[in-house]
A and B are shown apart, each in its own frame.
Chain A
Amino acid sequence: MNAVMHDTGTQALLTVEHLTMQFGGLIAINDVSFEANPREITAIIGPNGAGKTTLFNCLTGFYKPTVGRLALHHPQRGRFLLERMEGYDIPAHAGVARTFQNIRLFPEMSVLENLILAQHNKLMRASGFTFAGLLGLPMYRDAEKKAIDLARYWLDHINLTERADWNAGNLPYGDQRRLEIARAMCTEPVLLCLDEPAAGLNPKESSELNQLLTYIRDEHGIGLLLIEHDMSVVMGISDHIVVLDYGRMISSGTPEFIRNDPAVISAYLGEEESDDDTDIPSGGV
């Protein structure tokens, strides 16, 4: 598999191989391998405690995996091995952005500031690491203008242009969710990891979210990785689904395939006596 990594064309965006994450005696993720492609929404589903968020934390550098390889193929910058990178370098260089299950905006800062902060590294370079910025050189002014333009582009798409100067913490819940996605997009990622973006949204907001996510996939051509419990979102927009249970990958395929997979059904609706239950060493829980 490694041999074809430098192949062009149908190159996978993200290749997860034999990922294992162990916390002391607890195996949160056990030998998971899958691929995520550009221009596709890959959903990761599974019951609570299946290891979905742990997988995200490994991908975005918050945890160092015990075993395994996380290779990201950036169309412009080449291949990155995420498991070897510092947490903050992953969004900065490899182009992996994420959102959080419990929204993590900068609540006391304005909506616009939140989006500008996502472009921190770019602006930091443009401000000559603050020295040019202190002198007010035009180089920095231009960069700031461009950053505001990018922020405005996303504000228009999440309907927050009017409220750009509000404190992010004063926005309604649904808007905060969308703002967090817009903020992640302002880092100009190639892979966007969304941790339960539809949690707590009403049906209308949920369908707006679907539109936003398909828009990002189709217009920006990036790959999306989606953890979600809301099956209307998952089945409606995913191109590919990975099912985790007790840290193991129990199934992977198109939504239709997953919908009818007995292993998935038993994981969600309880065991049906028999079959492959026994080969899980019930490491977790």
Chain B
Amino acid sequence: MSEAAAASITPTRDMLRDAGLMAVVVFGLSFSLVGFKIEDVPGGLAILTRFDGVFFATALAFLGRIGVIMLREQRALPIAITALPTAVIILLLQLFAGDLDPERTYPFRSTVVNWSLFSVTLAMSLRAIWLTWHHGGAARSRDAREKAMDLVGAKVQDAARFIGPALLGFALILPFLPFADRRLLDIGILVLTYIMLGWGLNIVVGLAGLLDLGYVAFYAVGAYSYALLAQYFDLGFFLALPLAGILAAFAGILLGFPVLRLRGDYLAIVTLGFGEIIRIILLNWYTFTGGPDGISGIPRPTFFGLELSKRASDGGDTFHTFFGLTYSPIDRIIFLFYLILAMAMLTNLFTLRIRKLPIGRAWEALREDEIACRSLGMNPRNTKLTAFSIGAMFGGFGGSFFATRQGFISPESFTFIESAVILAIVVLGGMGSQLGVVFAAILLIGLPEFFRELQQYRMLAFGLAMVMIMVWRPSGLLAHREPTLRLHPPPGKGSVK
């Protein structure tokens, strides 16, 4: 019956060929990657084979491809009939087949793979059922989907007034929720650190449009500033924090001067080089920075002078004795969580505020058209340098926090991949979008931490997620810009286009 409805239907032969090709590719890839595994056995290494995995992967690719083609052409009923039972079988096997062989999970060896497969098949069957239900509803073209996604972006931006505070409220009560164990809080701290760095870099990349591939340099300057200030001058965290920020801002100006005349690719290359220069200096200036040994024993932050440790150092007092509480090691984690939450919120409020000031608007104008800026009497040099230095300052704050949280830093923590991840957060979130950075950071930092089980495939999944977002949303998850000031109140919810 669906045959009659859809105008263009791929002949079965073509469909099988397409799916077969897909299966061959998957077979080729999975044969060596999944098929063999080297394992440590008593008396040496052994090569284990996992051909069942190869078989299932190939078969799933074949069937999945057919399913996708048929779904695209509205032939939903067969998919609904097959995908739903598949999802149910996977679910049942994952949940109850453990009794068969306690050594492994079914149908696949990894719970993550099982759950992912389950959600994909479930999504497919739901889509198929929906299509069968609304029979004849035309499939949306790519263009229409883009428009719809833009509308979603605008709606989310509208809803940001609620989503933002809701997320903040959730973050505020998170440490006291029953499921908040140490691991979750650690991930939360990590995510918040990256959110803060993302917001800082957003000033440079999102607002001013200066592609900075060496942001980690300022992170490093901040971290080492605090570590060295603590080591040489015995400064506490809160005293060293502003100094570290100023030093990082100074580094930002230092980077800014030589790149004033550069744009786009050229700017990106120089900033990348700058990031490496800082790292290599830290690595080689052994007498000052400790080189590859790093700096250890960096003091922990105190709560208004109260230490969050079991025993106080000489002349100090601890948090739990002062308030008459029993000592719990998680107190320190909770304190760090709130500290980075406060620092991140400060970054956010600052950015939101400065965007509505002349300097913030000038940054955005610089991103749009530098020549027009000059013709209006703006000083592009000062505008760029302030963007670099303020962005760098927040990088420096983030670095100081990193140093005090880890207690140990070495140049290894400040490699190019860090810059790339922070930039990915900004770009995926949608340039200039504050809320987008939050979602992207949760997606890129939080989820991989949860998926540690995937081991080496984690980075593969990371890359895949990035590619998928870029295919679906080339301008980022939430790319919708609100004017910084309006002449008329916003017209309803839809706004202009």
> Does residue B377 face the partner (Cβ distance < 8 Å to A)?
yes
The CA-CA distance from A88 to B357 in the complex, in Å, is 20
> Does residue A133 face the partner (Cβ distance < 8 Å to B)?
yes
B→A interface (CB under 8 Å) = 350, 353-354, 357-359, 361-362, 364-365, 368-369, 371-380, 386, 481, 483-488, 490, 496-497
A158 shortest CB reach to chain B, Å: 14
- What would be 14 A-B contacts, judged by CB atoms less than 8 Å apart? A88-B378, A100-B371, A105-B372, A108-B364, A109-B364, A109-B483, A117-B362, A120-B358, A127-B358, A133-B358, A152-B487, A164-B486, A165-B483, A184-B375
CB under 8 Å from chain B, chain A span 137-151: 140, 144, 148, 151
The CA-CA distance from A112 to B488 in the complex, in Å, is 10
Q: Assuming A97-B375, A100-B375, is B486 touching A166 (CB within 8 A)?
A: no
The CA-CA distance from A50 to B143 in the complex, in Å, is 45
Q: Judge whether B377 and A88 touch: CB under 8 Å.
A: yes
Partner of A88, one of B361, B380, B497: B380
> Does residue A55 face the partner (Cβ distance < 8 Å to B)?
no
The CA-CA distance from A123 to B380 in the complex, in Å, is 16
> Does residue A253 face the partner (Cβ distance < 8 Å to B)?
no
Q: Judge whether A100 and B372 touch: CB under 8 Å.
A: yes
Q: Assuming A100-B375, A121-B378, is B487 touching A170 (CB within 8 A)?
A: no
B269 shortest CB reach to chain A, Å: 25
> Does residue A220 face the partner (Cβ distance < 8 Å to B)?
no
Q: Judge whether A166 and B496 touch: CB under 8 Å.
A: yes
Query: In the complex, what residues of B have CB within 8 A of residue A120's CB?
Result: 358, 361-362, 365, 376-378
Q: Judge whether B357 and A91 touch: CB under 8 Å.
A: no
Q: Judge whether A134 and B358 touch: CB under 8 Å.
A: no
Partner of A134, one of B357, B375, B486: B357
Partner of A60, one of B375, B380, B488: B375
The CA-CA distance from A70 to B147 in the complex, in Å, is 51
Q: Judge whether A106 and B365 touch: CB under 8 Å.
A: yes
Q: Judge whether A104 and B483 touch: CB under 8 Å.
A: no
Q: Which residue from chain A places its CB closest to the CB of B390 in the assembled complex?
A: A130
Q: Which residue from chain A places its CB closest to the CB of B356 in the assembled complex?
A: A133
Partner of A91, one of B369, B377, B488, B490: B377
Q: Judge whether A116 and B361 touch: CB under 8 Å.
A: yes
Q: Judge whether A113 and B487 touch: CB under 8 Å.
A: no
Q: Assuming A88-B380, A104-B369, A105-B369, is B359 touching A165 (CB within 8 A)?
A: no
Q: Judge whether A123 and B358 touch: CB under 8 Å.
A: yes
The CA-CA distance from A164 to B491 in the complex, in Å, is 12
1/0 contact trace for A55-66 toward B, CB 8 Å?
000001110000
> Does residue A110 face the partner (Cβ distance < 8 Å to B)?
yes
A→B interface (CB under 8 Å) = 60-62, 87-93, 97-98, 100, 104-110, 112-113, 116-118, 120-121, 123-124, 127, 129-130, 133-134, 140, 144, 148, 151-152, 155, 161, 164-167, 170, 183-184, 187
Q: Judge whether B364 and A165 touch: CB under 8 Å.
A: no
B311 shortest CB reach to chain A, Å: 42
Q: Judge whether A170 and B377 touch: CB under 8 Å.
A: no
A212 shortest CB reach to chain B, Å: 19
Q: Assuming A104-B369, A105-B372, is B496 touching A167 (CB within 8 A)?
A: yes
Q: Judge whether B357 and A92 touch: CB under 8 Å.
A: no
Partner of A117, one of B365, B488, B490: B365
The CA-CA distance from A98 to B359 in the complex, in Å, is 22
**Which of B354, B357, B377 counts the most A-chain CB atoms under 10 A from its CB?**
B377
Query: In the complex, what residues of A have CB within 8 A of residue B357's CB?
Result: 127, 130, 133-134, 140
**Which of B364, B374, B386 counts the most A-chain CB atoms under 10 A from its CB?**
B374
Q: Judge whether A121 and B377 touch: CB under 8 Å.
A: yes
Query: In the complex, what residues of A have CB within 8 A of residue B486's CB?
Result: 110, 112, 164-165
Q: Judge whether B485 and A112 touch: CB under 8 Å.
A: yes
Q: Which residue from chain A places its CB closest to the CB of B357 in the assembled complex?
A: A133
The CA-CA distance from A130 to B357 in the complex, in Å, is 7
7 nearest CB pairs, A to B: A92-B377, A91-B377, A164-B487, A110-B483, A106-B368, A104-B372, A123-B358
Q: Judge whether B354 and A130 touch: CB under 8 Å.
A: yes
The CA-CA distance from A105 to B371 in the complex, in Å, is 10
Query: In the complex, what residues of B have CB within 8 A of residue A104's CB?
Result: 369, 371-372, 375
Partner of B376, one of A62, A117, A130, A164: A117
Query: In the complex, what residues of A have CB within 8 A of residue B368's CB?
Result: 106-109
Query: In the complex, what residues of B have CB within 8 A of residue A110's CB?
Result: 483, 486
Query: In the complex, what residues of B have CB within 8 A of residue A155's CB?
Result: 487
The CA-CA distance from A130 to B358 in the complex, in Å, is 7
Q: Judge whether B483 and A112 touch: CB under 8 Å.
A: yes
Query: In the complex, what residues of B have CB within 8 A of residue A107's CB?
Result: 368
Q: Assuming A87-B374, A105-B372, A118-B376, is B487 touching A148 (CB within 8 A)?
A: yes
The CA-CA distance from A121 to B357 in the complex, in Å, is 12
A163 shortest CB reach to chain B, Å: 8
Q: Judge whether B379 and A106 touch: CB under 8 Å.
A: no
B483 shortest CB reach to chain A, Å: 4
Query: In the complex, what residues of A have CB within 8 A of residue B484's CB?
Result: 113
The CA-CA distance from A130 to B487 in the complex, in Å, is 22
The CA-CA distance from A134 to B386 in the complex, in Å, is 15
The CA-CA distance from A60 to B487 in the complex, in Å, is 31
The CA-CA distance from A90 to B379 in the complex, in Å, is 11
Q: Judge whether A89 and B372 touch: CB under 8 Å.
A: no
